[in-house]
A and B are shown apart, each in its own frame.
Chain A
Amino acid sequence: MANLEAWNSAPPVLPHPDEGYVEELFRARYLEMVRLAGLLGADDPEDIAQEAFTRLMNKDRGLGDAQAALPYLRAIVVNLTRNRHRHLRVVRRRTPAVAASESCEQAAIAYQDHPEVIAALAALPSRRREAIVLRYWLDLPEREIAAAMGVSPGTVKSHVSRGLAALAHALQAAEDKP
């Protein structure tokens, strides 16, 4: 654990186009990818991050440009988390009692320090949540958010704007509760 923390506290290392760049990228960005999956509501963020790196590793010959690896990695994490949400929704429909207790939203709501914000974020539609997390946690520009989400920059702007509005509304409602 401590090792990984140390790796991630170091300045980001740009991937080099050689055989070891996946490993370098892992050292520099693995924890970030775990946290990205977690903030997007994945029920097993490490599994998502590991799968993303596995796909990158098995794709490295076909990627062509090592500089493209990080955006590719982010896009995989976003997609895998989204797919996981879809799967969980299907599971919930089939077995509501069991799945409800295991949902990523519930896990997020259980968070204590910023409960209202995290709960409101968890309640957002997944695209809006993705846009908010990529914008305000990773501080990505709209172009890179668009690449990670597989949408246009204009759509990103819309998701961020509507997401913030929904958050403001939810937080206000929470504060108005007696």
Chain B
Amino acid sequence: MSVLEDRVRAALDAHAEEFSAHPDAWARIQARSLAARKPRVGWRWHRPGRFLIPAAAAAVVVAIVLAVTATVHGIAGRSAGGQADASPSSPGPGASSSSGGPPSSVPAEFLTEYPPVSAVLTMPVTGPGGQRAVDYAWLAYTKHSWWPDQLQGLQACGGVVFKNDSSWSCVPLPQLDARRLASIALSNYFGANAGPLVLQGLTVNGVASVTAVLPNGQDIRGSVETGRGFPDKAWAVVAPADEKTGQPAGGVRLVFRDASGAVVASLAAVAPPSAQVPEPGRGGIAVFTNAEGPGSVNTMNAYLVKGYVGFWLRQWFGLNGYLAPQLAAGPPALAGLTQTYSDSGGRGAFTSEAFGYAHEDVARVVLHLPGGRSVSTSTFAAWAGSGVRLWAIRLPADVYIPGQQMRTITATGYDTADQVVARVTLGSGI
């Protein structure tokens, strides 16, 4: 062996050590594989369990709280005040089940955060009063979003469209096994922040129907569907809700049956817990304060968590926490989110804030709003020695119109000499 060959080997060996692998890699490959497979007539996906992420990857991807709910426009796990499903191409209530692309009623930013890697299933559901709505379900793979990294990876997503309202949410993909033949993943309000809940989740492939059985003996029949990319079947059913607790009314059970009518699984109807991302115990800096109503004042606090900036807000429905998808010291020099939240009674009054962080050379942030308007604010210093600055702006009331999607807002960061340092699009209004 020549000296040159030895030198090449040594350089290659050393250089190879520079490349590492993401612990989430197997889950990503699974997601890609699901997305790449074509639907087939009469096709059955591999048996339950084949899709399960191997132990090592699962420890990172799925060994997390099952029911952490992401929402659009900051109304956690509840109505997002989304767009009406008025498009002629969108299936209306009562449409037959199908599996195709995303319906037009899913907010674009939500699809960006949670891009489908499966068919989007359409499942008609009927409420206890006979009212009808359409429930959607898909699997998503999320890589970069304003969520703690342990919540990234494969997600079960869904939502319900009812008249002029819609609600969307995602949770880490629930896992089924021999002892757990059905799971409740999501709950969304049938109407605007009130009324019955649409529960949805996954169940094993042998299940043919799902029914919500009320304490008075009344049955509410739901939908069970599967499609490209689903390892198991998706289901959706309506359950009456206790408006005080936001939970399904007491005593409601969900019964899953096979094609012969035999009971495969039975679950108490319980809404999964909403987003409860732990808030750091100390080091918080108030970014803005909002009075939602009499006696209800909420503060958005910023934290520096292992080099990442996160924001936590406690609201009437619980806690929302967002962690930036990139290290604060790295690019971009300016980052932020918009958040729209309702009043404490969920009666439809909305307020929107934009907030975020910036590098220390960003002295001022200008937001470019729809219609050519702009608003501006100064940044302020955050944690000593961190090089991070924070900013927040209350948005004009007309920026978010209930029943429509939040429009894209871009932000420009300027230094003290009024030179542009960064220009970014703000994150989706989670």
Contacts and interface: CB of A to CB of B under 8 A. Distances in A.
B20 to A, nearest CB: 6
B418 interface: no
Interface in B186-237: none
Given A4-B21, A34-B19, A46-B21, A133 B37 contact: no
Main secondary structure of the interface of B (DSSP, over half): helix
Interface stretch (B22-30, B241-249, B393-401): B22-30
Nearest to B37: A58
Nearest to B54: A23
Interface in A1-35: 1, 3-5, 7, 19, 23, 26-27, 30-31, 34-35
B10 to A, nearest CB: 7
B7 interface: yes
Contacts of A50: 25, 28-29, 32
Contacts of B4: 164, 167-168, 171
Interface in A39-92: 39, 45-46, 49-51, 53-54, 57-58
B296 interface: no
A39 B29 contact: no
B12 A136 contact: yes
A35 B19 contact: yes
Interface size bracket, B side? 20 to 34
Nearest to A160: B5
Contacts of B54: 23, 27
Interface in A68-122: 108, 111, 113-114, 117-118, 121
Nearest to A107: B18
Interface residues of A, number: 40
Contacts of B19: 31, 34-35, 37-39, 45
Contacts of B28: 50
Given A39-B12, A137-B16, A30 B7 contact: no
B11 interface: yes
A121 B5 CA distance: 12
Given A114-B10, A117-B8, A136-B9, A31 B21 contact: yes
A146 interface: no
A74 to B, nearest CB: 15
A35 B16 contact: yes
14 contacts: A1-B20, A3-B23, A4-B21, A4-B25, A30-B26, A34-B20, A39-B19, A50-B28, A50-B32, A54-B33, A111-B15, A121-B11, A136-B8, A136-B12
Q: Which 8 A-B pairs have the closest CB atoms?
A: A114-B11, A117-B11, A38-B19, A137-B12, A54-B32, A35-B16, A3-B56, A4-B21
